[in-house]
Structures are given as structure tokens and as C-alpha cells.
């Protein structure tokens, strides 16, 4: 009986694992598209900004491009550590990978929303 239940669980989990992988791939593609769009705008802003036009306290700060790059790198580190922690609910079990991908999808979609908001903040005037 235990074997039958295990087999049924494995058969049902297969589609869920495949779906979670494709959901994450789609979310990641949307994130990358949003990031490229915002980065292109930041590069435009860098080309149009002279340090002399900035307040003195901001002159030594990172460029628009570098600020976005720094935030994305920090977010990637957060995403990976956060989702690893979430997946530990199933640590060592067959659902750990699925849990990790579900988390990756969720936080990637949230980051994409943030990047799209950033696009609206820096629209050309």
C-alpha cells in the first residue's frame, strides 16, 4: 500500500514540477526584459547627467546604471538565500526543489513588478 501511495505521489508530482519549472522560466524571461528596459533608460540618464548638475552630496555616488546593477546583484543574492530558506521546509525531501522553484517564481514576479515601477518613475519627460 505504501508503495502504491508513493507511486501515485510521484506521478502527480511530475506535472507540478514541470509546471513550476516553466512558470519560473517565464517569470525569469519577463524579469530580464524589464531589467533590460530599465537599464537602457538608466544609460540614457547617465549620458545626459553631468556631475556638476548634481547636488554635491550626490556627485560621488554611483551612476544610474551602477545603482541599478548594484540593486540587481543584491536582489539576486537575497532571492537565492531567501528561497533556499523557504525550501528547507522540505529539506532533504523530494519536494524541496519544487518549493524552491515556487519561491523563485514568486519573488521573481515581485522583482519584475518593482522594475516596471522603476520604469514609470524614470519615464522621459
Confidence of residue 109 (pLDDT cuts 50, 70, 90): very high
Sketch the domain layout of the chain as residue ranges: 2-49+60-121
Percent of the chain with pLDDT over 70: 85
- For residue 60, give the DSSP letter: T
Assigned CATH class of 2-49+60-121: mainly alpha
* pTM for this entry: 0.81
Read off the pLDDT of residues 47-71 as tens digits, 9 standing for 90 and up: 988 888 888 888 888 999 999 999 9
- Can you give the pLDDT at residue 6? 46
SS (H, E, C) 32-85: HHHHHHHHHHHHHHHHCCCHHHCCHHHCCCCCHHHHHHHHHHHHHHHHHHHHHH
Amino acid at each position: 500500500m505504501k508503495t502504491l501511495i508513493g507511486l501515485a505521489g510521484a506521478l502527480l508530482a511530475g506535472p507540478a514540477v514541470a509546471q513550476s519549472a516553466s512558470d519560473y522560466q517565464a517569470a525569469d524571461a519577463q524579469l530580464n526584459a524589464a531589467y533590460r528596459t530599465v537599464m537602457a533608460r538608466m544609460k540614457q540618464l547617465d549620458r545626459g547627467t553631468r556631475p556638476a548638475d548634481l547636488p554635491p552630496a550626490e556627485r560621488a555616488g554611483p551612476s544610474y546604471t551602477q545603482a541599478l546593477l548594484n540593486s540587481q546583484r543584491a536582489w539576486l543574492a537575497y532571492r537565492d538565500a531567501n528561497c533556499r530558506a523557504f525550501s528547507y521546509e522540505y529539506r532533504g525531501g523530494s519536494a524541496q526543489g519544487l518549493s524552491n522553484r515556487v519561491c523563485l517564481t514568486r519573488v521573481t514576479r515581485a522583482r519584475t513588478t518593482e522594475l516596471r515601477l522603476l520604469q514609470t518613475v524614470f519615464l522621459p519627460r
